[in-house]
Structure 1
Amino acid sequence: MHPILKPAFAPRPTRRGFLTGSAGLVLGLHIVGKARAQSAATADGDFAPNAFIRIAPDNTVTVLVKHIEIGQGANTGLPLLVAEELDADWSQMRAEQAPSDPVVYVNTAFGVQGTGGSTGLSNSYMTMRQAGAAARAMLVSAAADRWGVLPEGITVSKGVVSHADSGNSATFGDLADAAALTPVPVDVALKDPKDFTLIGGDKVTRLDGHAKSTGQAMFTIDVFRDDMEVVSVVHPPKFGATVASFNAATALARPGVTAVRELSSGVAIYADDTYSAFKARADLDIEWDESGAETRSTDAIIEEFTAAARAPAMVAEQTGDVDAALAGADRTIEADYVFPYLAHAALEPMDGVIELRDDGAEIWSGIQIPTIAEPVIAGTLGIDPATLTVNTMYTGGSFGRRSTPVSHFEKELAEVAAKAGPGAYKLLWTREDDMTGGYYRPLTVHHLRAGLDAAGNITGWLNTIANQSIVAGTPFEPMVMPEGMDPTAIEGSRDMAYDWPANRVSWAQMKNPVPVLWWRSVGHTHTAYATETFLDQALLAGGKDTVQGRLDLLKSDRPRDRAVLERVAEMANWSGPGTGDRRMGVALHRSFGSYVAQIAEVEDRGGLPHVTRVWCAVDCGVAVTPDVVRAQMEGGIGYGLGTTLFDEITMAEGGLVQQRNYDSYRMLALPEMPQIEVSIIASSESPTGVGEPGTPPIAPAVSNAWRALTGAMPYRLPYRANSV
């Protein structure tokens, strides 16, 4: 989900169940803008559920994390913010997923409870620090009352509250019950960053690391309920097709199969076990209505999109007279770039467990936007949303896939239960379902033109982008596209760091039945490639060094872009792309508030670039957990590199998707992963995203290096789709 999206949804009733059965201090803070304390009490169930912190008598501190943990480190970063202000010992910290409550656990970047757009830390930075500081103040107040001393003389360190003059000390657990009875402070002072002991350091290990590495962590795919049936749904083989008729006799005759039912999305097989549910898919005889289906090949779609990119389109940004600049240029260069549909290919396919009871329903799934999903689920089931309980599970990757604004999977899960009646059901997509099911990164075509003067300076810049809108037709459209422009389709192509004398960025909205979705770094994945490789081409045509040329073009108000570019050039000892069998290329791109510059070194292995090294400089504001920042940069580089070299979703003539599993949509192998060096720019700015910004610069950096090595530039990704 993207941080600019802010739909308005009615809040649903708050829940209290997650507090029941605990004792000690539970701190509830609903902080939007200025801190506003609401209540604190013992956790006997009679307490407002807008709690971020629970301190138990056993001295554990549990932080309720409102952002789903999908591998990006939310269950470590947010507790660390609390621990810093609380002066807790890291060994006593715990993390739990917050219950669904869009009033208390709102992501203020979206206006709903949801995870995405690399907003986790940036959205929660002050909230969680304020919650930790308030809890600390309450513990200190309780200790002062107990010992009959002034709070000013009390210190807190590593989970121990002490008063040096009296010799008294107590753990958080010792003071929890008493602290719960003290008033909740308002406008509590936060630490000066110079006093941080945890934020910005490498002293902590991930709270979920041990459970995940030992197999103890529970993912949705691990959930089993008593008498649960496993359900597999056969979806239409072409986008836009629907069920015309089906014969289930053979499937129902298979041992283990209990029922076959038609859903709005396909035909569902209910079985006693996964094996039976999956094997019975081949037994179904289904006739599909393809009257509304996409039956064109990928090449035919590209042809349509390319024509649109070369024609006038809706203007997104314009400065100066670009037409005059191009007409009066000493020479012009132009290029068309083609970017394919891309699957997210997360390791855990789409899955969920639902238990429908007479008094409501309960769900276990990795839902990224519960505020959108819950009304869809409740409406499909025909139940009061207040009787719906959602358990947010660890998720084996997402990269945007589980952040669907139309909640199509959650609707299918609810329909599985609605069609069958009370009981427990696990809906599990196969890898092939996941790969061919759509919700891809949009296929995109860029058309770029640039004008150069006699001295090789860029005088005009034109970029027209043709692709489908992710937002159109979703609940976000009225808020995000009031004038018909989808900013996620073009982000990264406007408000660039470079100072063009004249430029125009335009967008042509394309439509077809293939469902599209945000994919790790959304529009930046294609805009960074098109703009940064085309800029390289223009700089080289003007006889300029590609690093110094970028520095010379940077706007005066973009010092953070300059800092990462200078840092990465220093890291790689840049003096040009190099000579010999290895060459280097550079790319600079800002996304999700973070600034990233990368230099890639490549060599030729059988006609494809093998990336030997990548240097990466990142400015993400305060690096709360530097090890996670480095890991996310490395992961983003690997993810982006795999799709640069290998991956695309294509449709043959007739509309059938050709990639079905990892054999034809393969991941980057370990021997193909480059050596990566990450440098984090020291900053006092507020934290910004790190889950996605590492991905956009890698493809253009690699291709700029490849051009330096071979003279060839792939204008259509991935590399294996080209003869370069």
Structure 2
Amino acid sequence: MATRLLDRRSFSRRDFLQLGVSVGVAAGGGLLLGVSFKANSASEATSSGGITAAIRSAGSVIGGDGRVPAPGGDLAPNAFIRIDREGHVFIVVPKVEMGQGVYTSIPMLIAEELEVPLDNVTLQHAPPDAALYADGLLGMQVTGGSTSMRAMWEPMRRAGAVGRTLLLQAAAQAWGVDSAGCVARNAVVRHVASNRTLTYGQLVECAASLAMTPDLAKSIVLKSPSAFTIIGKPVKRLDSPEKLNGVARFGIDARPPGMVYAVVVNCPVIGGSLARVDDTVARAVPGVSQIVSLDNAVAAIGTHTWAAKTGASALAIEWNPGPNALMTTRTLVGDLQRASQRPGAVARKAGDVATAFSQASRKIEAVYELPFLAHATMEPMNCTVHLHDGRCEIWCGTQVPTRVVDAAAKITGLPPGQIVLHNALLGGGFGRRLEVDVLMQAVRIAQQVNAPVKVLWTREEDIQHDMYRPYYYDRIAAALDSSGKPAGWTHRITGSSIVARWAPAWFKNGLDPDAVEVADKLPYDIPAQLVDYVRQEPRGVPTAFWRGVGPTRSTFVVEGFIDELAHETKTDPVTYRRALLGRSPRLLHVLDVATRAAGWGSSLPTGSGRGVSVMNAFGSFFCMVVQVSVDNGEVRVERVVCAVDCGQVVNPDTVQAQVEGGAIFGLSAALFNQITFSNGRVEQSNFNDYRVMRINEAPHIDTHIVASSEAPGGMGEPGTAAVAPALVNAIFAASGRRVRRLPVGNQLQTSESA
């Protein structure tokens, strides 16, 4: 395929800022695009009256005035598309690619409406510019929260439709006909009556000079799903060829001229600091050029990675352990247990909970716990920085480009316009690259190095100094009526608030909306509910979003506990759920699809079992069925069946890949992984004790995509969030042992989970 990634140096940020597109966020959360087109001369601008088209999205519009010529006279109708005179199409992708497929799916949206083949498209990273590239659901330029397709579904299609409309108008003018008699297909406009054709390349000069009049703006119509030729079809990943042949560039591949390498040793104790360092031996290592000390870290600078790593290992460092020198996991869990005894901020209150419990036939209660987790991205954390000539250049892969610019500006004192970010492909994100801690450290090191410096964290530094998924401690209870259905429900969530640090404006009245997601909007018909949240920060342990975040925790607890209620009432778990899902037909449908495909109810060998979970999160509806065997406490996952209703599917291949990757990610965490502390230090260090499921352990995964005409839902995180409860429910079916605390580990070989 001819599709390729374009080095951003060939088309500058200034070029795109001149395209005359403004993007903002409506009060209701919709993305706003105002597209303006300036004439190629002052006289043309005067004659056109500077008419601006405001493209409507989510019911609101914004706009500017005038028109700006595209670079070299190319057609650039908005901030996402440029077509040159040879007919080549350049698409700016406003989301970063970290394996989730947006470098294919977003171009599919634009190409569908622009009527160009995908193999004639060149892709480019969007530069950091929240005004142009903000996510309409999150209100900032960020890739995360499984929002890419949800936020981009309509705006990207409209971006393509604007370009198509201008090209049709240009062709109509050239032929002296009505544009309604022209059609576009495969980058060619054809006049239906005369069968005359013009390529996009032949039309761009005329199209670039057109004013977007109100009448022309009204003619912009999005295609109906029945007319789609690209959207909904399986498409091979556009970024795969360059990843396979080594051309694709990740942050770790940065090689600016004269670059040196820094390997960092961070203080091993959470919250500790540097006391003193003896670098005599380290400086004697061949290739080591410098030792840089920071408040809580030391970096060895070398002419190559091995020199820097060897030098870092030779450092004799004395640390001030700080206030957390005696901290352990037991200490932190004790804090959570005590905090969970007090009332929290109310996330949901419905019905008379007190009466429901006082009149209950039976009361069931439980405590569920989820551990700290690291992200452990396959590309270790890295960042290359060069401070020179009054500016700061940065090479990295980040989910938050504008935050990188702002953080660098704050540290260096330079204006944001003097910060140049070369964003790259991400070798895994999972929320880790929503943070700028490594960037901040790299900039501080670069302030002491007179050359471009690539700062690298070893795998050990990465796992032991991550920003972790919080430890959560959940108290949950249900009051059952005489028929065994829950009449009352209480759920108290206790843990760190990521939102309070990362997006303070979202944290209101003591409530973290992410921490309670799913728990605060149960799909089940339960008359009386009380869900509250207690914030308890873990003694200096940095916490951050981890793939699926709130829904990952809430779904594990809710779906595990629903299974407990089914067992208590001697009801089949699927039958029990079906009776409570009458108000959620989409969930009920995926439950039926998945369980039917998994052969629910058919016999299994002794020691084997199936478990089920359902989830509505990220705008998608999921059901997962996991089949396991348990032998002497050892769990083997044999099969995973997933049914997903994610609304209109853009690329079914991507949906399947996200389910499979998410399931493996979630199973690895649920079976094996936790971050524990002893004397203020993380005990895990690498993939030997922070495991990823091996290929021989991976189950067969069947994905069933439910056809839907609803708007697209998110797919990056649901697979991870939905799989753990189905796993532990399957373990119970196979062994009779209930797992309420992750990871599963060796719990089945002890009495702890009984």
Report the TM-score, using the length of structure 2 for normalisation: 0.89
Q: What residue is the counterpart of 1:594 in the other structure? A: 620
Structure-1 residue corresponding to 2:443: 414
- Supply the AA of the counterpart residue of 1:271: G
Out of 541, 544, 549, which is 1:522 matched to?
549
Amino acid at match of 2:103: N
How far residue 295 of structure 1 moved from its aligned partner, in angstroms, is 2.9
1:109 aligned counterpart, secondary structure: coil
User: Deviation at 1:165?
Assistant: 3.5
CA distance, structure 1, for counterparts of residue 423 and residue 511 of structure 2: 33
Deviation string 1:633-667 (CA, Å, 9 cap, x unpaired) is: 11111110111111111112x12211100111111
Q: 1:586 to 1:576 in 2, by over 3 A?
A: farther
Q: Distance in 1 between matches of 2:434 and 2:633?
A: 37
1:683 aligns with 2:696: no
SS at match of 1:664: coil
User: Does structure 2 conserve the Cα–Cα contact (< 8 Å) formed by 1:53 and 1:62?
Assistant: yes
The residue that corresponds to 1:37 in the other structure is 35
For the pair 1:374 / 2:400, whether they are aligned, the reply is no
Indicate the RMSD between aligned Cα atoms, in angstroms. 2.3
Matches within 5 A, 1:683-722: 683-722=708-747
Partner of 1:7: none
Cα displacement (A) at 1:446? 1.2
Counterpart pick for 1:574 among 600, 617, 621: 600
Deviation at 1:580, TM superposition (A): 3.5
Secondary structure of 2:131's counterpart equals coil
Distance 2:644 2:744 in 1: 26
Once the two structures are overlaid, the 10-residue window that deviates more, 517-526 or 484-493, is 484-493
In 1, the alpha carbon distance for the partners of 2:372 and 2:240 equals 33
- Can you list the C-alpha shifts for 1:98-142, whole angstroms capped at 9, x where unaligned? 111110111122221111101111111111111101111111122
- Counterpart residue identity of residue 649, structure 1: I
Within-5 A mapping of 1:549-568: 549-556=576-583, 558-568=584-594
Deviation at 1:94, TM superposition (A): 2.3
1:507 matched to which residue of 2?
533
SS of the aligned residue for 2:500 comes to: coil
Measured after TM superposition, the shift of residue 320 of structure 1 is 2.4
Aligned to 1:5: none
Cα distance in 1, alignment partners of residues 532 and 317 from structure 2: 43
Report the 3-state secondary structure (helix = DSSP H, G, I; strand = E; otherwise coil) of the residue aligned with 1:702.
helix
Partners of 1:223 and 1:53 in 2: CA distance: 27
Match of 2:130 among 102, 113, 136: 102
Give, in angstroms, the shift of residue 579 of structure 1. 5.9
Q: Distance in 1 between matches of 2:631 and 2:672?
A: 14
CA distance in 1, matches of 2:176, 2:632: 77
In structure 2, what is the Cα distance between the partners aligned to 1:439 and 1:345?
A: 10
Separation of aligned partners in 2, 1:84 and 1:719? 45
Name which of 555, 558, 564 aligns with 1:531: 558
Q: How many residues align?
A: 700
Counterpart among 257, 262, 280 of residue 249 in structure 1: 280
Query: 2:686 aligns to what SS in structure 1?
Result: coil
Equivalent of residue 291 in structure 1, options 322, 325, 330: 322
| Change in CA separation of 1:655 and 1:194 when aligned onto 2, cut-off 3 Å | same
Task: Report the Cα offset of residue 182 of structure 1.
Answer: 1.9
Alpha-carbon contact 1:632-1:690 (below 8 Å) kept? yes
Distance 1:310 1:385 in 2: 46
Q: Please report how far the alpha carbon of residue 42 of structure 1 lies from its aligned counterpart in structure 2 after TM superposition.
A: 3.3
Task: Give 1:18 shift.
Answer: 5.8
1:456-471 equivalences in 2 (<5 Å): 456-471=484-499
Query: Match of 1:637?
Result: 663
Match of 1:544 in 2: 571
Equivalent in the alignment of 2:686: 661
Contact 2:76 2:83 survives alignment (8 Å): no
Look up the SS of the partner of 1:719 in the other structure.
coil
Instruction: Measure, in 2, the Cα distance between the counterparts of 1:682 and 1:293.
Output: 53
Question: How far 1:310 moved relative to its partner?
Answer: 4.2
Q: How far 1:550 sits from its partner (Å)?
A: 0.8
Partner of 2:609: 583
Which amino acid in structure 2 is aligned with residue 408 of structure 1?
A: D
Is the CA contact 2:261–2:304 (under 8 Å) kept in the aligned structure 1?
yes
Does 2:197 align with 1:199? no
Q: 1:576 to 1:538 in 2, by over 3 A?
A: farther
The gaps in structure 1 that reach 5 residues or longer are 1-15
Are 1:330 and 2:361 counterparts? yes
Q: Are positions 1:269 and 2:300 aligned together?
A: yes
Match of 2:649 among 623, 631, 656: 623
Tell me if the contact between 2:74 and 2:205 (Cα under 8 Å) persists in the aligned partners: no
Q: CA deviation at 1:514?
A: 0.6
d(CA) in 2 for partners of 1:186, 1:18: 31
**Following TM superposition, by how much is the alpha carbon of 1:73 offset from its aligned partner in structure 2, in angstroms?**
0.8
1:151-207 CA distance string (max 9 Å, x none): 2222211222222443422322232233222224534111112111111111x2211
Relative to structure 1, the CA distance from residue 264 to residue 620 in structure 2 (aligned partners, 3 Å threshold; closer, same or farther) is farther
For the residue of structure 1 that corresponds to 2:130, the secondary structure is coil
* Correspondent of 2:103 among 75, 80, 87: 75
In structure 1, what residue type is equivalent to 2:669? T
CA, structure 1 residues 298+576, in 2 after alignment: closer, same or farther (shift >3 Å)? farther
Deviation at residue 402 of structure 1 after TM alignment: 0.3
* Residue 269 of structure 1, CA deviation: 1.7
CA contact (8 A) 1:598 1:701 kept: yes
1:436 aligns with 2:438: no
Distance apart, 1:607 and its partner CA: 1.8
Amino acid at match of 1:540: H
Spell out, residue by residue over 1:414-453, the C-alpha distance to the aligned partner (whole angstroms, 9 max, x if none).
11222224x2111111111110113111011111222223
Structure 1 stretch displaced more, 631-640 or 712-721: 712-721
Q: Is the 8 A contact 1:19 1:45 kept in 2?
A: no
Task: Name the CA distance, whole Å, in 2 between partners of 1:605 and 1:520.
Answer: 30
How far apart, in 1, do the equivalents of 2:416 and 2:263 lie? Answer: 26
Say whether residues 1:117 and 2:145 are aligned partners.
yes
**Alpha-carbon separation, structure 2, partners of 1:327 and 1:306:** 25
Partner of 2:168: 140
Q: What SS does the aligned partner of 2:369 have?
A: strand
Is the partner of 1:487 in helix, strand or coil?
coil
CA contact (8 A) 1:19 1:49 kept: no
Query: Post-superposition shift, 1:17?
Result: 7.2
| Secondary structure of the structure 2 residue equivalent to 1:402 | helix
Q: Is the 8 A contact 1:35 1:186 kept in 2?
A: no
Q: Tell me if the contact between 2:75 and 2:82 (Cα under 8 Å) persists in the aligned partners.
A: no
Q: Give the whole-Å Cα distance in 1 for the aligned partners of 2:325 and 2:13.
A: 54
Structure 1, 124-133 or 330-339: larger mean CA deviation: 330-339
1:304 lines up with 2:335 in the alignment: yes
C-alpha distance in 2 between matches for 1:45 and 1:480:
44
**Residue type of the alignment partner of 2:462:** D
Using the alignment, how far apart are the partners of 2:78 and 2:297 within structure 1?
39
- Tell me, in whole angstroms, the C-alpha distance in 1 between the residues paired with 2:78 and 2:381: 29
How far is 1:523 from its partner? Answer: 1.4
Decide which of 381, 384, 391 is 1:353's aligned counterpart: 384
Task: Report the 3-state secondary structure (helix = DSSP H, G, I; strand = E; otherwise coil) of the residue aligned with 1:586.
Answer: strand
Q: 1:496 to 1:386 in 2, by over 3 A?
A: same
Encode CA deviations 1:656-709: one digit per residue, 9 max, x unaligned: 211100111111111211111111121221112100011111111111111111
Contact 1:310 1:447 in 2 (8 A): no
Contact 1:85 1:133 in 2 (8 A): yes
Aligned partner of 1:179 among 207, 225, 229: 207
Q: Which amino acid aligns with 2:650?
A: V
Inter-CA distance 21–531: structure 2 relative to 1 (3 Å threshold): closer
Aligned to 1:10: none
Paired residue secondary structure (2:72)? coil
